[in-house]
Amino acid sequence: MSLRIVFFSRLSFVAKLAWVVLLAGLAAACSTTTTLNSVKVPQSDSTKHAAIVVDGSNGRVLYQSNAEARRYPASLTKMMTLYMTFEAMESGRLSKATQIPVSAYAAARPPTKIGFRPGQSIDVDSAVYALCTKSANDVAVALGEALGGTEERFAQMMTVKARQLGMRSTVFRNASGLPDDQQVTTARDMALLGMALRKRFPQHFSYFSSRSFSYRGKTIRGHNDLLGRVQGVDGIKTGYIRASGFNIVTSVSTDGRKLVVVVMGGDTARSRNAEVEQLIERYLPQASRSARPVDEAPASIPVAASASTTPSETLGMPAAPLPGTALVGVPARPEMPVE
């Protein structure tokens, strides 16, 4: 008889029971660990990576990782520039045919860009396509100047609108997403903005599904490789600067279910897209078919900055004061968005 068996046989009944419970707990822990490991998604540099998956029908958070950590938005900034443009179109301040002048400052913005000489102009319809597909910095600044007088004033308007939408941790400093160490956001805030764009402007949301557009006799192609390749993906926006890594906000609508998926800080566009695809595959079956809308800024349960979240949490939050803008561990650099 082995020493292990002899030892166990001499224990009291209570001690034996305690050992059984302990061994069962260890077995369960091993099983749980295996299960959690089996559903991990690829993640990038932890100082840049963030992600969130939201049920597009009711705002329920299905998954999150660093969702409240401040990140650089890069060209995801243009989602708010477009939100403000759509508002101006609805109010009658702009029409699709309105010509937007391109100032010398706007024309001098670094790529990506359409390429204008100072004094030229672009119609609003083409300008919206240029932001959704080419992510044109010169056009973004021209729109900002047309709506705000100056880009600086427009960025202040963007930040005020962010608060109205419940984006409590976002500060905008320009209309394009070009590097600025004080221009910050979170994955959670970008998900809110993506949902608000679909809910508020369904008549304009199809712009985000455009893979290319024609302008001045040229076909200009976009950066979002998920469009047309992943079933149900119908937008929204990509972004990149070196300080942010590869970002994306993705809208999915299929079989009566909707998701908004945000991934920030990808090492490459390919790895970022692969993570989005895995998140869609995993969480789309969990999305509700309910058509119950989500208010632009309802009061609800805050989203904790943890690796995962309980299904009861939702995105909506009341407005909050401007946060500090220090972004620990991610130095700002003067690189330009390529998406």
The number of beta carbons lying within 10 Å of the beta carbon of residue 161 is 18
Q: Which of 190, 90, 85 is nearest to 148 (CA)?
A: 85
Active-site choice (44, 57, 65, 75): 75
Query: Was 199 annotated as part of a binding site?
Result: no
Q: Give residue for tokens 């993906």.
A: 233
3-class DSSP assignment, residue 112: coil
The number of beta carbons lying within 10 Å of the beta carbon of residue 333 is 12
Helices (H), 202-325: 269-283
Active-site choice (48, 78, 113, 161): 78
Active-site choice (57, 65, 126, 135): 135
75 annotated active-site: yes
DSSP 111: S
CA distance 5 to 7: 5
Contact (CB, 8 A) for 201 and 235: no
Q: Which of 168, 198, 169 is nearest to 56 (CA)?
A: 198
Separation of CA 225 from chain center: 16
* Catalytic residue annotation: 75, 78, 135
List residues forming the annotated binding site.
237
List residues forming the annotated binding site for substrate.
237
